């Protein structure tokens, strides 16, 4: 669990949670509440770490390297890797439940936050997206199906990361919707940039094997490098546009969108 969670990843999802929470609660930083919100952000990273463990298993991507190091199952064995993933997932739920209870929010219940997390992970989220990815035949994959798969497999956790940050800061429902729109487009753009890095970057730059998608249908396969880049830029444009009601205070989220556009790992 420790190995999976503390490797040199980018921490983009928990950063999104914290940036969103900060946006709706400028006094949070100095208060005890900020520690609880940090726990919620860590829970988001635990779910991500769990998803990477499972994604890398021989039965799925069979990946040897991740974050510049051997994958969890290569170091600890498949049995321990699966248990570590499940334990991280369970710890994440517990942290969100404890956090939500201690925050005692006005607009959201503990069930609201847990439900958002569970929905993002389940058949309508990461797990469903991954299952469809594994079971789709290459000839049936068009842009619509590919977008569906990746907005679930990858996008759903970005959405949950943003939404949990907004909920933890007791943001109004309409602000939660703004964040959900932003994170949905950001998440899909992130996946497209991941596909681009798989063909354009080196393993040293990404910390994982590249060229792994050769046999897969990806955004780059369907649209070419330029087309995929244009789609990512368009989605990031939508993401940034949706922040208009929040004004300048949403600038850190605009910076996150810019990071996704320019990222090299």
Binding site for ligand GRG (CB under 6 A): 9-10, 12, 47-48, 50-52, 54-55, 60, 67, 89, 121, 126-127, 130, 153-154, 191, 194
Q: How far is the CB of 153 from ligand GRG (least distance, A)?
A: 5
Cβ–Cβ < 8 Å for 191, 150 = yes
Q: Which residue is nearest to ligand GRG (CB)?
A: 9
Q: Where are the alpha helices (DSSP H) in the chain?
A: 2-6, 12-24, 33-56, 72-76, 78-103, 110-121, 126-135, 143-153, 155-168, 173-200, 203-206, 219-241, 251-262
Cβ distance to ligand GRG smaller for residue 118 or 222: 118
| Cα 155 off chain centre by | 6
Nearest by Cα to 64 from 214, 265, 203: 203
CB atoms within 10 A of CB 182: 28
Q: Compare residues 107 and 263 and give the one whose CB is closer to ligand GRG.
A: 263
- In the complex, least distance from residue 154 CB atom to ligand GRG, rounded to whole angstroms: 4
Q: How far is the CB of 134 from ligand GRG (least distance, A)?
A: 9
Q: Which of residues 4 and 243 has its CB atom nearest to ligand GRG in the complex?
A: 4
- Relative to beta strand 65-66, strand 69-70 is antiparallel
Reference 22, options 161, 184, 178, 166; nearest CA is 166
Closest distance between ligand GRG and the C-beta of residue 16, in Å? 11
For the bound state, the minimum distance from the C-beta of residue 248 to ligand GRG, rounded and expressed in Å, comes to: 27
Cβ-count burial 27-48 (b if 16+ within 10 Å, e if not): ebeeeebbebbbbbbbbbbbbb
Judge whether 18 and 41 are in contact, CB under 8 Å.
yes
Residue 194: CA count within 13 A, CB half-sphere: 17
Q: Please state the closest distance from residue 235 (CB atom) to ligand GRG, in A.
A: 14
| Structural tokens at position 184 | 């949905």
Q: How far is the CB of 175 from ligand GRG (least distance, A)?
A: 25
- Nearer CB in complex with ligand GRG: 10/102: 10
Please say which residue, 28 or 156, places its beta carbon nearer to ligand GRG: 156
Which residues make beta-bridge pairs with 70? 65
Residue with Cβ nearer ligand GRG (9 or 162): 9
Q: Are 126 and 157 in contact (CB under 8 A)?
A: yes
Nearer to ligand GRG, 55 or 261 (CB): 55
């Amino acid at each position: 669990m420790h190995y999976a969670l503390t490797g040199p990843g980018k921490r983009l999802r928990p950063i999104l949670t914290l940036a969103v929470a900060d946006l709706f609660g400028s006094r949070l930083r100095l208060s005890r509440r900020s520690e609880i919100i940090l726990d919620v952000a860590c829970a988001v990273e635990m779910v991500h770490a769990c998803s990477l463990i499972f994604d890398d298993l021989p039965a799925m991507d069979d990946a040897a390297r991740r974050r510049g190091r051997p994958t969890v199952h290569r170091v600890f064995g498949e049995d321990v890797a699966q248990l570590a993933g499940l334990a991280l997932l369970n710890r994440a739920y517990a942290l969100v439940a404890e956090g939500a209870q201690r925050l005692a929010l006005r607009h959201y219940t503990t069930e609201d936050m847990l439900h958002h997390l569970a929905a993002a992970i389940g058949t309508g989220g990461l797990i469903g997206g991954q299952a469809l990815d594994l079971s789709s035949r290459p000839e049936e994959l068009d842009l619509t199906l590919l977008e569906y798969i990746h907005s679930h497999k990858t996008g759903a956790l970005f959405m949950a990361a943003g939404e949990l940050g907004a909920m933890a800061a007791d943001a109004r429902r309409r602000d939660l919707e703004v964040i959900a729109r932003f994170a949905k487009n950001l998440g899909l753009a992130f996946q497209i940039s991941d596909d681009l890095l798989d063909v354009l970057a080196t393993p040293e730059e990404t910390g994982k094997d590249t060229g792994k998608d050769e046999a897969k249908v990806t955004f780059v396969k369907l649209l070419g490098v330029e087309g995929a880049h244009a789609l990512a830029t368009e989605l990031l444009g939508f993401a940034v546009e949706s922040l208009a009601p929040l004004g300048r205070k949403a600038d850190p989220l605009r910076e996150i969108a810019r990071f996704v556009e320019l990222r090299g790992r």
